[in-house]
Amino acid sequence: MFILAPLLTIALGLASVSSRPTNNCRCTFGSACWPSDSDFQALASKISQPLLHPIPPATPCYDSAAGNCTQVQTEWHDGVWRSDQPGAAQNTNWETYTFPNGTIEACYLGTSLGFPCQQGNVPIIGIDARTLADVQEAVNFAGNHNLRLVIKNTGHDYLGRSSGRGSFLLWTHHMKNITFLDSFSPTGATDSVTYNNVFTLGAGVQWFEAYEAAKERNVLIVGGFSLRGSVGAAGGWLAGGGHSALAPNYGLGVDNVLEMEIVTADGNLVVANSYQNQDLFWALRGGGGGTWGVVTSVTYKTHPPTPFSGAFLTVDSTNPNSTQTLLEEIIRLTSSLVDQGYGGYVSGSTDHLQLILLSPNVTVNQTQATFSPLFESAASQPGLSSQNETDAFPDLWTIYNLIWNNTDGNVGNPVEISSWLLPKDVVETGDPKNLAEELLKTASFEYNFVTGGQVSRVDSESTGLNPVWRNSLVYTAVVSTWQEGANETQIDAVRQRFIQDMKIIEGLAPGSGAYLNEASRYEFDWKKSFFGSHYDQLLNIKQKYDPNSLFLVYEGIGSDGWDADLICRV
């Protein structure tokens, strides 16, 4: 049985030698260079909270002194609960660590599997940042000791960028300040540049909290949609572009930001907007999270509140040909629906399809007229069992509570995902039959309405976001998972199928790109796929603000000069 080590042993390590490594390798737990007890005690005296000692979230099921196993079992698939655990990732494969020989170190919820509970890929020690000073102390400490630094808010990351074996964790999750300003002028702008009704959100604010605050102020804010709204509003979601069901009408997350505050590698607070530090502001909007520094706050513009109408369709199928016929119809309707302002999500496989599409300022009667032919087709196709509905909603808050405020999400499981953007011409003038047929060859796919419309009206050079977003009409994705406790051979079999599915969706639009927040470590050319023609410019900005690469993430700007664990330069 796993015995929870004393906190000081876990946190401070056994080494008392404080010699520093060369800059060729980061210092990790267990190395002779690991900070001494006195180093950590000095750090603890400078911060507002006790040092963190993250443990894998299933640990209480192996050692009752670590917590309540029943609660862990009950909350395991709740994204908000997982975001509250400093040692948890939303998807459990990023809590585990696989050695070169294929051995997996993990702490599984299923105690009957017979594996010991071990630290895996969970950082060993860190700071629970509540203040700007906490963030600065963490950055300075990591830099001075050349530590492998991991920044985490909610743990929503399909590339495992918020975990790291033997690393030092900066947890921004409790930086929850929300400020509403009736009038806002960006720092450095003239007095004539003002915006009404803006929100400044702290680094740890999640979308369910931001949506509630927007409801109280009677405004609309463009955000992400996930079960329980557990995704962070000021972190990786935004840095990767920030797609949303609202994007066809209001633009992506990066199109709605007015100002950002960030602690850079030198420990200084920098304000970035269109009037100062413009290069950094450009990079922060699409250049990827965890790469430029520690974002401590983001100021978003808002929009007037509006009613919505929505169309919902769920289909179960015993006839793959009928599934394909229905998907073809959705593809044919795509351009028209985006033009009408509909945004949302379509997902499925050969035996199931689900559609959720929303539009502001469209009556339910108009939505009914628009979708009736599709609904009738679904009802008439042989082998399809369908349910459909159109509804009116007074505001976004009502939609969120009805559809996404659900505790049982696709978290607490091992998940890998890969995405691909389909340009307008592929969807509008391509062959819907071929597109549907190819998507249905995958194990599970998404065909999402989170681009086009207003997204396409924004200058592709105005942000660091991959320019292919501005000419895309649809976001596609494929997903894979496996059973907890699977060995490396079993996981690799799933992964090989997943890679084949990646090839399928990327083959639909060769030369396009991916959404770097919902992407794979097996991307074939990640620099081009994630950043497109902006990579070199982003790299120059990276070298300016972080010359020693303190902030490194998997498949992030400049990471190609480091090994697979981001420990040593190659």
- Which pLDDT tens digit goes with each residue over 541-559? 999 999 999 999 999 999 9
Q: What is the mean pLDDT of residues 315-330?
A: 98
Q: What is the mean pLDDT of residues 139-162?
A: 97
In CATH, the number for domain 7-171 is 3.30.43.10
Which amino acid, residue 470? R
> Does the predicted TM-score (pTM) go above 0.85?
yes
Q: How many CB atoms lie under 10 A from the CB of residue 339? A: 11
Instruction: Please give the structure tokens belonging to residue 90.
Output: 């939303």
- Which pLDDT tens digit goes with each residue over 22-36? 469 999 999 999 999
- Which pLDDT tens digit goes with each residue over 371-428? 999 999 999 999 999 999 999 999 999 999 999 987 666 799 999 999 999 999 999 9
- Which pLDDT tens digit goes with each residue over 228-277? 999 999 999 999 999 999 999 999 999 999 999 999 999 999 999 999 99
Of 3.90.1300.10, 3.40.462.20, 2.60.40.1180, 3.40.1480.10, which CATH number belongs to 308-531?
Answer: 3.40.462.20
Q: How many CB atoms lie under 10 A from the CB of residue 115? A: 17
Which run of H or E residues covers position 503?
helix 488-507
In CATH, the number for domain 178-304 is 3.30.465.10
pLDDT of residue 79: 94
CA distances to 179, 187, 371, 488 from 191, in Å: 20, 10, 47, 60
- Which pLDDT tens digit goes with each residue over 74-112? 999 999 999 999 999 999 999 999 999 999 999 999 999
CA distances to 135, 174, 210, 301 from 77, in Å: 29, 21, 22, 32
Which amino acid, residue 161? R
Instruction: Please give the structure tokens belonging to residue 348.
Output: 């499925």
> For residues 240 and 288, is the Cβ–Cβ distance under 8 A?
yes
Domain range summary for the chain, segments of one domain joined by +: 7-171, 178-304, 308-531
> With bands split at pLDDT 50, 70 and 90, how would you rate the model's confidence at 8?
very low
Ramachandran angles phi, psi of 58, nearest 5°: -85, 0
Q: Is the pLDDT of residue 491 over 50?
A: yes
Calculate helix-pair angle for 432-439, 320-339, nearest 10 degrees: 120
Instruction: Report d(CA 5, CA 29) in Å as an integer.
Output: 14
Instruction: Report d(CA 280, CA 262) in Å as an integer.
Output: 10
